[in-house]
Amino acid sequence: MSISDQIAALQQRAADLKSSFDQSKKETNEQVKERLDQTKADIEARQDAVKDKAGQAAGRAQSQWAALKADAAARQAAFQDKIDRQRDEHDAKVAERDAEDAEADAADALDYAAWAIDQAQLAVLDAADARTWADARAAARA
């Protein structure tokens, strides 16, 4: 996949995220849970594809990705466990606090995504710079 294709795919995923969020405001809790389960499966499939690609790239940045993925999985599992244990026991005030915590987690994830996009932008420009430099050097030798 070309860099341009990757950027387009990332833009589409961001648009899908906005649409999904808007739709979730109109759905019942069960509908949201169903879409959440489907989204988790989709993310896992994407992560498996990325993991395969990372293995083909001889392990570049594999340890950082693995650490990030493990940290995210641990956070998600801990948060989900907390919700599962307490869902039926919560009063309205505690449920509101949990919702605010979940929203804060989402905001943190979006902040991380913004950082990742910044890093991707730098990497894309570094790659373009390296390519133009190499092309210029090749033209100078010809």
**pLDDT value of residue 129:** 85
> 3-class DSSP state for residue 25?
coil
- Determine how many CB atoms are found less than 10 A away from the CB of residue 92: 7
**pLDDT value of residue 89:** 67
User: By the 8 A CB rule, do 13 and 5 touch?
Assistant: no
| Integer Cα distance of 10 and 117 in angstroms | 9
pLDDT in tens, the chain (142 residues): 677 787 788 888 888 888 888 888 898 878 888 877 888 888 788 778 767 766 665 455 566 667 777 888 888 888 888 887 766 666 777 888 888 998 888 888 888 887 887 787 778 778 888 888 999 999 999 8
Look at the alpha carbons of 117, 120, 124, 125 in this order and tell me if their dihedral is positive or negative.
Answer: positive
**pLDDT value of residue 68:** 77
User: By the 8 A CB rule, do 60 and 54 touch?
Assistant: yes
